[in-house]
Amino acid sequence: MSRRTLIAGNWKMNGLSGALGYFDAVAPVAAQAAADILVCPPATLLYPVARACEGTRIRVGAQDCHAHQSGAHTGDLSASMLRDAGASHVIVGHSERRADHGESDRNVQAKAAAAIAAGLVPVICVGETLAERESGEAIDVVARQLAGSLPDNSATVDLVIAYEPVWAIGTGLVASPADVADMHAAIRERLPNPATTCILYGGSVKPANAAELLSLADVDGALVGGASLDAADFSAIIRAAGS
């Protein structure tokens, strides 16, 4: 099975019900794209976005899940709930979750396993801080995160890895093409199923740099943050992936 390009938009804590018109603009672009398209809205919009995307090539993902499928976990959502609401994917281990909520590799691994058990594709995020990059530890840090975050059955299931250098998320900074290619190659050689696992780059991906990033070796797509909130910008990034 060959890898397909994936362009994923992470809306983070943005979006109200009035934003659903966004998909009227993006759906025709997605229909012509060579890539698979995924949009991850906030949990409040998951069900209406899934309904809005019915009959289109846009798939819908969630931004996090709990490691348990049910129970006394006030305010949390299980992977099975997300699938029931229309999700096909779920982001786990995003650096903002790791930093803001203290999530460890073990937490991320458990969430990824729960997602797989519920029939979702986990998008497992890894990435280094600026201090770790400047000290020459970037690949070692990401390798440790990857090893600690992959579920035990990762060689036999569908999953996605997203490399997001923490210092490039929402800052306007982008890792150099050489650094991106080196990191993606390092990630690929450490994957249980390297030939078929999709590796995304994330970190200030925009229409102006998308084509160059997507052309790099071992870059199978993009996890887009702020630019995914604008239908025109996200459409331009989709077009950069080819048609």
> CA separation (Å) from 36 to 74, 108, 243?
34, 24, 11
Residue 40 bridge partners (DSSP): 10
Burial 114-127 (b: 16+ CB within 10 A, else e): bbbebebbbbbbbb
- The single residue listed with the structure tokens 């846009």 is 58
Catalytic pick from 94, 96, 103, 184? 94
Under a CB-based contact definition with an 8 Å cutoff, are residues 104 and 92 in contact?
no
The answer to whether 94 is a known catalytic residue is yes
**CA 209, CA 66: separation in Å to the nearest integer?**
34
**Tokens at 26, concatenated:** 């993006």
Q: What sign for the dihedral angle of Cα 167, 169, 174, 177?
A: positive
Catalytic pick from 96, 128, 132, 164? 164
Residues assigned a catalytic role: 94, 164
